[in-house]
Amino acid sequence: MTNAALYHNPDSQNDGQNDSQSNSTGYNFAYLDEQTKRMIRRCLLKAVAVPGYQVPFGGREMPLPYGWGTGGMQVTATIIGQDDVLKVIDQGADDTTNAVSIRRFFARTAGVATTESTREASVIQTRHRIPETPLSHGQILVYQVPIPDPLRFIEPRETETRKMHALQEYGVMHVKLYEDIARFGHIATTYAYPVKVNGHYVMDPSPIPKFDNPKMHGNPALQLFGAGREKRIYAIPPFTRVESLDFEDHPFEIQGWDQTCEFCGSDHSFLDEVVTDDEGGRIFICSDTDYCNQRFANGARQEAV
Amino acid sequence: MYVAVKGGEKAIDQAHSWLDETRRGDTSLPELSVAQIRQQMGLAVDRVMAEGSLYDPELAALALKQASGDAIEAIFLLRAYRTTLPRFLASVPMETNTMAIQRRISAAYKDLPGGQVLGPTYDYTHRLLDFTLLANGERGSAPPSGDETVEDCPRVLDFLNSEGLIESPLANSGRTQSDGSAESETPADLTRQPLDYPAGRDLRLQALARGDEGFLLALAYSTQRGYGRNHPFAGEIRQGEVAVEIAPEELGFPVIVGDIQVSECDMINQFIGTETEAPRFTRGYGLAFGNSERKALAMALVDRALRARELGEDVVSPAQDEEFVLAHCDNLDSSGFVSHLKLPHYVDFQSELVLLRRLRKEFEERKSGRQGPKVNTTSKPGNQDEPSTDNEQRREVKQA
Amino acid sequence: MTNAAMAMTQEALAEPLLKVKNLRKLYAPGKGVDGVDFELWPGEVLGIVGESGSGKTTLLQCLSGMLTPDSGQIEYTGKQGDKLDIYKITESQRRLLLRTDWGIVHQHPRDGLRMGVSAGANIGERLMAIGERHYGNLRSTGEAWLREMEIDTARIDDLPRTFSGGMQQRLQIARNLVTQPRLVFMDEPTGGLDVSVQARLLDMLRNLVVDLGLSVVLVTHDLAVARLLSHRLMVMRGGKVVEQGLTDQILDDPQHPYSQLLVSSVLTP
């Protein structure tokens, strides 16, 4: 790389943290320089062209630690524009600390509007959940991914897994599922459940609960996956076939609860378990805070306060 | 009545305030200045520069101050800053032969041209806590006798090289060159492209140069203890200032843009020979910003270990395992991922709880004699029943 | 099972399964494979014998697609009669062959098994790799093969490390045979097993070869094993084949001085 893109304001102070105005911190729009964004865009295009294939990219250090969403952030930083509306969730909630931290980062470095409403967002960056509210065509869901390769825990060597993907040698994945059934009577993977994309590549959907897997199939939104530390990007284009691996006689199934949401009464969303006292008391509430609030606001459940 | 937990933003702000207070500490004491850190915590500054991959002692000192002295946190600050800097060009390869020597020793020879120059080293200090430092006693330090010039220090490994006793510095750069010719292509850039395996020596050395000193030290130590032994001798260790030169196209000749302090280590390792070539020593190389001698030594040992494949040695130990070493040597990667465990994982944990509760329920049902699916542990032969098809289990099968 | 053998022999008579021409892979003069030619026919067991360092293992590695030779050609006739030059086809095709039409039985079972997964999974893996998606079928196939290899079917969920050496070897063989390969490479399959276990395994192998119409390339230093299993023998020394022919002929009436030495040095009880 020989270009000296003088985007960087040489007079700016090093500390971009204390300035609440957008884009006056001396950093480029959304922090990344244009060269890097261009490089990531090229990788994103490759990823979209080959659904489920892990594209290596020259990831950069971000001001948040590796493992805390830098991959998702680099993808968001690359695609976000001035008119976008950004939602950031972690565990389905907008106000978990890391979601807050990332949302602030973009508010500061890009000055974009932010929202907690799934419906209003144009870009949604998420960690470990897919929103309950169905997405629409034109929205982009950016997933934070810790370990991109579904084969990694069966085969730690990158040189070998690369070949396995290239040659579609996925027998080992079913071996793992077979073992689970032999040992537990069920497939024992409950999150980061591997899927086959477009009938070709096997992909790790990030540590979303298997409950969310069906939402990836045929989704009208564009789904992008960023792994910053491992430096991989992959994608599921809109309306793509996504199938969770299983056996014919042990078909894929999602979790369920006997309880309903304490706030909105939902019996079909993913529920968080909350311990309320030290005698085993517990209640269940929707993990997706926006979804829950919307239902509640629509009078789904009357609270006796 | 349970109220959903909120207030993440406020909590973060409060945490930051408290952090600022903690970082400053007792306000009745004078604030530490960046200049003081730079001067008096030089080795900490050097480490931050080396692993932060950025030579700027003042910024490194600032990072240490901001990070309350946590080296890895400071390294992170420097790397993140580095990301935002424009890249003008690459320098000409540094000529460490013409280093302004501050320290230069060789374990391979008792005496040699230029001599054994100890420099400002902790090596021969007795590790006794000096309480006069505690009392802020100023001990007049005897400055080195100013007029004694350091003689020319020719490179130790060149002595061996001219006799043909050691492989040439550019040999076996990692790409299989059947004619043994030196690499003429531009080195790859670890900071711009993702690491790919097998990695050439250029990428390996880059990764090691910014790799965590503790990790490399442990790996180096392991080779000495037999995990991939390569019989090292410290051929030469040098510390001092080296000029950084650039050669812009417009000028057509190189220009010095500054000097930096570096530590360099040439290891002499296990000799090898083939049927067609006489045996000779092999090399390991280490280089780090500042007076980071321990890092340079460890790096040289691990560099040599990682050359096992190209030197036809069996890869038997972690230090020789390229993927293992290079994937785990960056402390931004490792500290980030380890500490990410602090982030909420309650959704996935909830998923595990749901499954575990179900499995336990099934276990109890089986024990109490009711029908259930056949389940085998691996330690004993199971019963002879065929697995049931889970008809009696209530399951939700929801597909989009 | 004999139907397979019959079907085999009918089309078999047409052409060899494996044709090796002037194969060369040398580490040093006399070390490796130094110009080897032969043909292998369907349903035939070819034994390769020689002392260690004779090049027989190198030959096996070249033949099974694991080691690229310096020169020469290895041609395999696929199921559809297509001629495949083993080192001209893509790695993908080679790896597919290794998982379906071919088998490799290693001397040490742990080289050919997944030690960390159950016997059933080991047997089923090849089937899962080619698309078998019914757990019940995988399990019953696993049990059928365990029975065939005289392993108690109750051990289907046990890990291989709980098996004896002989059982592990039989499991490795089952794992290979489940996709009904036509060609199996074996490297000292009974090495390291004690004598009675060896005998049982050899007997089993002999029957399987006949029942399944297998072609086998068998590398061994043990002439007794060679005599029991092979139709033809090749004697190797210093990378070259010094003599080849029918097994009984070579063992009863060796012509080459080295073969004579080899045969005469076998301890007879």
Using one digit for the tens of pLDDT, what is the confidence trace for A44-55? 999 999 999 999
Helix (H, G, I), strand (E, B) or coil at C102: strand
Chain A interface test: which of C91, C93, C99, C117 (most A C-beta within 10 Å): C117
**CB-CB under 8 Å, A96 with B352:** no
Chain B closest CA to A229's CA: distance in Å? 6
Verify whether the Cβ–Cβ distance B83 to A61 is below 8 Å.
Answer: yes
For residue A305, pLDDT over 50 is answered with no
**Number of folded domains that form chain B:** 2
Residues A239-265: what's their mean pLDDT? 94
Nearest CA in chain C to A165: C92
- The answer to the question of residue B60 being in a domain is yes
Q: How far apart (Å, rounded) are the C-alpha atoms in residues B325 and B334?
A: 12
DSSP assignment of B165-200, as one string? -B--TTS--SS--TT-PPP-SPPP-TTTS---SSPP
Catalytic residue among A52, A59, A69, A72: A52
Distance CA C164, CA A172 (A): 25
CA distances from B103 to B29, B123, B265, B290, B291 (A): 36, 12, 12, 12, 10
Please check whether residue B63 lies inside any domain of the structure.
yes
Instruction: Give me the residue from C135, C154, C159 closest to B378, CB to CB.
Output: C159
Domain stops at, among B293, B324, B340:
B340
Residue of B nearest to C116 (CA): B378
The distance of Cα B115 from the centroid of its chain, to the nearest Å, equals 31
Q: Do C28 and B376 touch (CB under 8 A)?
A: no
Q: Are residues B71 and B113 in the same domain?
A: no
Same domain as B33, residue B169: no
Q: Which amino acid is at B38?
A: R
Against chain A, the chains showing at least 3 CB pairs within 8 Å are: B, C
Q: Does some domain include residue B143?
A: no
pLDDT of residue B144: 58
pLDDT by residue for chain B (400 residues), tens only, comes to 566 667 778 888 999 999 999 999 999 999 999 999 999 999 999 999 999 999 999 999 999 999 999 999 999 999 989 988 888 888 999 999 999 999 999 999 988 888 899 999 998 888 888 888 887 766 656 655 565 666 788 898 888 888 888 888 776 554 433 343 444 467 888 988 888 889 999 999 999 999 999 999 999 999 998 888 888 999 999 999 999 999 998 988 999 999 999 999 999 998 877 777 788 899 999 999 999 999 999 999 999 999 998 888 889 899 999 999 999 999 999 999 999 999 999 999 999 999 999 999 999 999 998 655 555 433 333 333 333 333 333 333 332 2
Specify the pLDDT at position B393.
32
Instruction: Mark whether B74 and B173 lie in a shared domain.
Output: no
In A132-171, the residues whose Cβ lies within 8 Å of chain B are: 146, 156-159
Residues B55 and B195 in one domain: no
- The type of residue at A144 is Q
Q: Give the C-alpha separation, A160 to B177, whole Å.
A: 24
Per DSSP bridges, beta strands A113-114 and A195-197 are unpaired
- Look at residue B102 and tell me if it is in a domain: yes
Claim to verify: residue B163 and residue B272 sit in the same structural domain: yes
Are A140 and A221 contacting, i.e. CB atoms less than 8 angstroms apart? yes
**Residue B16 located in a structural domain:** yes
Nearest to A167 among C95, C136, C156 (CB): C95
Pick from C117, C126, C134: which is nearest to A179 by CB?
C117
Q: What is the pLDDT of residues A66-90, one digit of tens each?
A: 888 999 999 999 999 999 999 999 9
Write out chain B residues lying below 8 Å of C135, CB-based.
387
> How many angstroms separate the CA atoms of B345 and B351, rounded?
10
Length of chain C (residues):
269
Burial class from Cβ neighbours inside 10 Å (0-12, 13-18, 19+) for residue C126 reads: buried
CB contact (8 A) between residue C157 and residue B384: no
CB contact under 8 A, B378 and C118: yes
Out of A132-141, A245-254, B384-393, which region has the weakest mean confidence (pLDDT)? B384-393
Does the pLDDT value for residue A302 go beyond 60? no
- Rounded to 10 deg, the angle between the B331-339 and B71-83 helix axes is 110
Residue A68 to residues A156, A225, B372, Cα–Cα distance (Å): 22, 14, 42
Q: Which of A136-150, A161-175, B184-198, B307-321 has the highest mean pLDDT?
A: A136-150
What is the rounded distance in angstroms from the CA atom of residue B254 to the CA atom of residue B244? 10
* Domain co-membership, B31 together with B106: no
In a mutational test of the C interface, the residue from B274, B377, B378 whose CB has the highest number of chain C CBs within 10 Å is B378
Distance CA B274, CA B279 (A): 7
Question: Which regions in chain C score pLDDT beneath 70?
Answer: 1-13, 267-269
The answer to whether the CB of C172 falls within 8 A of the CB of C178 is no
Task: In whole angstroms, give the CA distance from residue A33 to residue A42.
Answer: 15
Please state, in angstroms and rounded to a whole number, the distance separating the CA atoms of residues B36 and B136.
Answer: 14
Between chain A and chain C, the number of residue pairs with CB atoms below 8 A apart is 56
Q: What residue spans of chain A are helical by DSSP H?
A: 34-49, 70-79, 97-110, 158-166, 171-184, 213-216, 289-297
Quick check: A168 and A250 in contact, CB under 8 A?
A: no
In a domain, B190, yes or no: yes
Say how far apart CA B37 and CA B45 lie, in whole Å: 8
Residue ranges making up the domain that contains B46: 12-82
A57/B194 touch (CB, cutoff 8 Å), yes or no? yes
A181 touches chain C (CB under 8 A): yes
If asked whether residues B47 and B119 sit together in one domain, one would say no
Does B323 contact A60 at a Cβ distance shorter than 8 Å? Answer: no
> Going by C-beta distance under 8 Å and a sequence separation of 6 or more, which residues neighbour residue C8?
C42, C43, C182, C213
Average pLDDT over residues A214-220: 98
Residue B51 lies in a domain: yes
Task: Write down which residue in B292, B309, B340 finishes a domain.
Answer: B340
Count H helices, E strands: chain B?
Answer: 13, 4
Distance from CA of A245 to the nearest CA of C (A): 9
Strand order in the sheet with C240-246: C102-105, C183-187, C215-220, C45-49, C232-237, C240-246
Q: Which of B319, B340, B361 is the last residue of a domain?
A: B340
**pLDDT tens by residue, A6-60:** 223 333 333 333 333 334 456 788 888 888 999 999 999 999 999 999 999 988 8
Out of A69, A92, A228, A261, the active site residue is A261
C-beta of residue C98 within 8 angstroms of C-beta of residue C112: no
Pairwise CA distance, residues B374 & B379, whole Å? 15
Distance from CA of A217 to the nearest CA of C (A): 20
Same domain for B113 and B62? no
Residue B393 within a domain: no
pLDDT at B389: 36
User: For chain A, first and last CA: distance in Å?
Assistant: 63
For residues B102 and B51, membership in a common domain is answered with: no
- Residue B391's pLDDT is 34
Query: What pLDDT is attached to residue B147?
Result: 55
Considering the domain architecture, whether residues B117 and B260 belong to the same structural domain is answered as yes
Report DSSP letters for B38-56, one per residue. HHHTHHHHHHHHHHHT---
pLDDT tier, A139 (very low <50, low <70, confident <90, very high otherwise): very high
* pTM score: 0.81
B108 shares its domain with B190: yes
The full set of domains in chain A, from first to last, is 5-151+190-244 (3.40.50.11310), 256-305 (no CATH)
Chain C CB within 8 Å of residue A249 CB: yes
* Same domain (yes/no): B224, B327: yes
Q: Kindly report whether the peptide bond that precedes residue B198 is cis, defined as omega within 30 degrees of 0.
A: yes
Is A127 within 8 Å of A99 (Cβ atoms)? yes
Q: How far apart are the first and last CA of chain B?
A: 35
Which token pair is C268? Answer: 């007879």
